[in-house]
Structure 1
Amino acid sequence: GEQPIKVTGAKEGMENQYTYYVNQIAQVDNMIGNLINRLRKRNEKTILVLYGDHLPSLDISADELKNSDLYQTQYVIWDNFGLKKSDKDMAAYQLYSYVLGKAGIHEGLITRYHQQMDWNSNSYLSDLKTLEYDWFYGEKYAYNGQNEFVQSNLQMGTYPVTLEDVRKNKKGYIVKGKGFTDYTKIYFNGKSLEGYKIDAAHYQITDEIDYDADEGYMSLQYAKENGIVDEDIPNAFIAKVEDKDNVCLSAGKPLLWNFTTLYLD
């Protein structure tokens, strides 16, 4: 249908794109106005942060922008309890700590680092990198060697993925279980196995499975008592739910080789 706002002076051949964009921005503007009006009426201290994360696909070049920078964007901080206004250039990853600081919130190691460091110092970014490495991959000196953030078991979907048995068939191996979907992948000894879902209770593995005789058998109880994560339990099948980017969303309980028909064969 016809757009309520008409656009003139757009680049040749892009009149429709500019018209669509301007009308969409008008709708966003109205939505933000409605949101702020609602927030004003709440009897609760509120901070609202608004910024655009990328330019529209309108073939915009740097010389057409007021600040001549394709990788900068303006931001707005609105509040309903009288914070002092200030203009400040910053990176997107610094904005959250800046806003939390205004609200008197200083929780979190990285947050406090951003709030206390001089952003213009020569060591600011390199020290941030060191701190992040220590946190994710290092000895966690910043946390006195303790991991304060333990991975929790998440359940994606209505039913957990359950493995019951694995046996050989003509195409490779057939897995019997429950809750298989198109996002289910089967792992053995930490390796993702090629295969596909047949139905919710059957999965066809087309890969070869390499049993590690040197590692042998480890009970799930032993693994739990010794803090061994499921992925490191030898000769165990694990069903995982993964998205299209191979990010694990959830995982079922491991099924040991010794508790499948393969062991009897």
Structure 2
Amino acid sequence: MQSLSFWLIFSILLTIVVETIKFKSIKKALYFMKHSPIEFILNVLIISSTLALSFMVTRKVFVFTIVTIFWLLLSITNTIVTTLRGYPLMFSDIFLIKEGLSLSSQYFTPLVISMVLILLGFLFWIGYDLFQIQFETTTLQYVMGTVYVFLAGYIFYKTEKKELPKPAEEVELYEQMGFAYSITDSLYPYLNRKPDSYSEEKMNNLAHDLMPYFKNHPQSVDHNVIMIQMESFFDPLTLQNLSINIDPIPTIRHLMKTEPFGKLIVPTFGGGTGKTEFEVLTSMNVDYFGPGEIPHNSILKSTDIESLATHFSQSGFETIAIHNYEGNFYNRHIAYQHLGFDRFVPLEYMAGIEVNHDLSQMNDEHLIHNIIKAISQFEKSFIYAISAGTHQPYNETSYDEHHDIQIEGDLSLEERASLQDYCIKLHRLDHQIKRLLKYLETRQTPTTLILFSDHLPNLPVINDETFYPFDHYEVPVMVKHPSEFTFHDQKLPAYQLATEILNAVGIRGGIMNAIHDLEKGTFHYQSDLKLAQYDLIYGKQLLASVFPQHKTQEIKFGIEPLTIHSIMKTDHHLVIKGSGFNGDSQVFIDGKRVPTTYISEGELHAEMKMNKGNLVTIKQISGYHQALDEGKSFELAKINS
């Protein structure tokens, strides 16, 4: 009885501590307990059920301690993650461990990382000692623990099935429903994806309703389409109670005033670019996936999905994705093939450049250069480009009093410095957009240009309503089209944008576009959208059997192929002449990586002595030293030396 009392009291105290860490305030945690008793009890139920696992084992102290540390570390991680990217920790972040580790060095100093590793080592040491302590487990304790865990699971399940009214925004969800409940809630959709109304009859009826869309014949299109997804873009002149002496985006502002302009409702804030990207490309609503899920890291690892790329490809376009950052970030090198792109041009395949893979130092000049190169190379092209030059982190510690861009207002150093750094990066992006527009004016082939933001930046001023009292999920979108174009809705969900664009250029889309085109505004619009998404990805693909899907092909990397023209051997190294090289080009001899020096787009030096008959391979190396494809291999015997 004494142990049960301790377990219950400790569960309540641990829940309060977890909420205190989440709110960063004991006062707010106690307010949550007092004014949201049902939600607080649900959180106690979840935490106490995990602690109850200790009833079922002999190493009770070890399990009890491990579970306690687990909740503390989870809540601390949530606070850090929410601060850095603007939305909380979720189950789906398991799929983003690689991306998180690759960015950690840009947010944390080596000292901080070392301290974390030392702390983890200390915890393992303590854990080893606790593991040695054992207590007898009685049948009653085992039964009580088992029954309680299953009871807690059943209560949570029934709570989820009732679909209690919950905030749509993740940050508000965590604040109103509690941390333990919310992070468990983010797991539930992965366990139960199938909609209750999904059936063969329902899908056959939906297919019948969509038939009129596919009877319309697409028009012949003879111009290019460029979509630029601008990283963390917003108009800083919309900020209240401060002033910026120079307009950072004069070119883009001119487009806002002279071309169709609207607001895009995106599914994320401060980070999670892949969610907006997926909605725009596929016309699917990510609300019907797991909370926080980035489809690039889950379904797009193995599942083909219709997208703008497949629709344009069917109309004779060369479809190209371009991004001036690592090709394996968000697994884009895999995802874009499953989305139907013909080729992908990541940083590693931008010929003639040598840059560090540091998001805070990315230059959108390389992005625009390759857009221009692609549109010059192919007669009719659809280009989906993702900029990186305005990506966080932003400098929050030093303000440049001598820079042309100055910020005035009642701001802290952190707010002023980060906003100035953001505006400087934004001004560079604007200059590159101006460069692209000037090039397009010289071309005879008309071009549709769509510019839009993936999400708002996670700036301190954005998170302060004094300066930004607007919706955090509304971002700018503008379209420069050869003929008349208007947004049917001034506020457009990101998953509806593609249908608007396809209709404007005269290209027929796929199943998702048909639903948007025929059912938007009807009472069953969202339910049919959810059913169609489930059927195409996880279900029996009944709709795909009625409306055949476009078959994807192996994706190509780079605008032009990587080639080797000749290899010359000297006393100290190989001189490799070819084309398409950059700072990420690496030489492999018989599968073994050798020291490589980048000289130019057409020349590499490899520090290696070799005999004839060895296999020379050039690979483009991405993050985590991963080669994006098999590279180009040549036998020395077949190459002039």
Structure 1 SS opposite 2:475: coil
1:3·1:20 contact (CA, 8 Å) conserved in 2?
A: no
Flag the structure with higher strand content: 1
Q: 1:128 aligns with which of 510, 518, 529?
A: 529
2:511·2:547 contact (CA, 8 Å) conserved in 1?
A: no
Gaps of 5+ in 1: 159-177, 182-242, 252-265
User: For the residues of structure 2 that align with 1:123 and 1:65, how far apart are their CA atoms?
Assistant: 39
Offset from partner CA, 1:29-53 (integer Å, 9 cap, x none)? 2222222222233222321111222
**CA distance change for structure 1 residues 43 and 21 in 2, over 3 Å: closer, same or farther?**
same
Who is 2:476 aligned against?
A: 74
- 1:141 is aligned to 2:556: no
2:515·2:525 contact (CA, 8 Å) conserved in 1?
A: no
Q: 1:112 aligns with which of 499, 514, 532?
A: 514
**CA distance change for structure 1 residues 63 and 45 in 2, over 3 Å: closer, same or farther?**
same
Deviation at 1:127?
0.5
User: For the residues of structure 1 that align with 2:421 and 2:463, how far apart are their CA atoms?
Assistant: 19
User: For the residues of structure 1 that align with 2:538 and 2:592, how far apart are their CA atoms?
Assistant: 33
1:40·1:80 contact (CA, 8 Å) conserved in 2?
A: no
User: For the residues of structure 1 that align with 2:458 and 2:547, how far apart are their CA atoms?
Assistant: 46
Gaps of 5+ in 2: 1-399, 563-589, 594-621, 631-641
Q: 2:432 aligns with which of 31, 34, 37?
A: 31
Q: How many residues matched?
A: 174
Who is 1:46 aligned against?
A: 447
Q: Which has the higher contact order (CA 8 A, sep 6+)?
A: 2
User: For the residues of structure 1 that align with 2:436 and 2:429, how far apart are their CA atoms?
Assistant: 10
Please tell me the residue identity of whatever aligns with 1:96.
A
1:140·1:146 contact (CA, 8 Å) conserved in 2?
A: no
**CA distance change for structure 1 residues 101 and 66 in 2, over 3 Å: closer, same or farther?**
farther
| Identity percentage of aligned residues | 24
Q: 2:504 aligns with which of 63, 82, 102?
A: 102
TM value normalised by structure 2: 0.23
User: For the residues of structure 2 that align with 1:244 and 1:38, how far apart are their CA atoms?
Assistant: 32
Instruction: Output aligned runs, 1:112-191, within 5 Å.
Output: 112-118=514-520, 120-144=521-545, 148-149=549-550
Deviation at 1:68?
2.1
Deviation at 1:28?
1.7
- 1:22 is aligned to 2:423: yes
- Where has structure 1 moved over 4 Å in runs of 4 or more? 64-67, 84-87, 149-156, 178-181
1:18·1:58 contact (CA, 8 Å) conserved in 2?
A: yes
Offset from partner CA, 1:139-160 (integer Å, 9 cap, x none)? 222133687355656799x9xx
User: For the residues of structure 2 that align with 1:180 and 1:129, how far apart are their CA atoms?
Assistant: 48
Offset from partner CA, 1:77-101 (integer Å, 9 cap, x none)? 1123343566521111111111111
Offset from partner CA, 1:126-172 (integer Å, 9 cap, x none)? 1011112221222222133687355656799x9xxxxxxxxxxxxxx
**CA distance change for structure 1 residues 62 and 89 in 2, over 3 Å: closer, same or farther?**
farther
Root-mean-square deviation over aligned CA pairs: 4.0
Please tell me the residue identity of whatever aligns with 2:409.
G
Instruction: Output aligned runs, 1:237-252, within 5 Å.
Output: none
Deviates more, 1:143-152 or 1:3-12: 143-152
**CA distance change for structure 1 residues 37 and 62 in 2, over 3 Å: closer, same or farther?**
same
Offset from partner CA, 1:199-228 (integer Å, 9 cap, x none)? xxxxxxxxxxxxxxxxxxxxxxxxxxxxxx
Please tell me the residue identity of whatever aligns with 2:497.
L
- 1:55 is aligned to 2:456: yes
User: For the residues of structure 1 that align with 2:547 and 2:484, how far apart are their CA atoms?
Assistant: 40
- 1:91 is aligned to 2:482: no
Structure 2 SS opposite 1:75: strand
Flag the structure with higher helix content: 2
User: For the residues of structure 1 that align with 2:510 and 2:403, how far apart are their CA atoms?
Assistant: 47
**CA distance change for structure 1 residues 82 and 147 in 2, over 3 Å: closer, same or farther?**
closer
Structure 2 SS opposite 1:80: coil
Who is 2:67 aligned against?
A: none
Q: 1:4 aligns with which of 384, 397, 404?
A: 404
Offset from partner CA, 1:6-60 (integer Å, 9 cap, x none)? 2222621222212111122222222222222222332223211112222223222
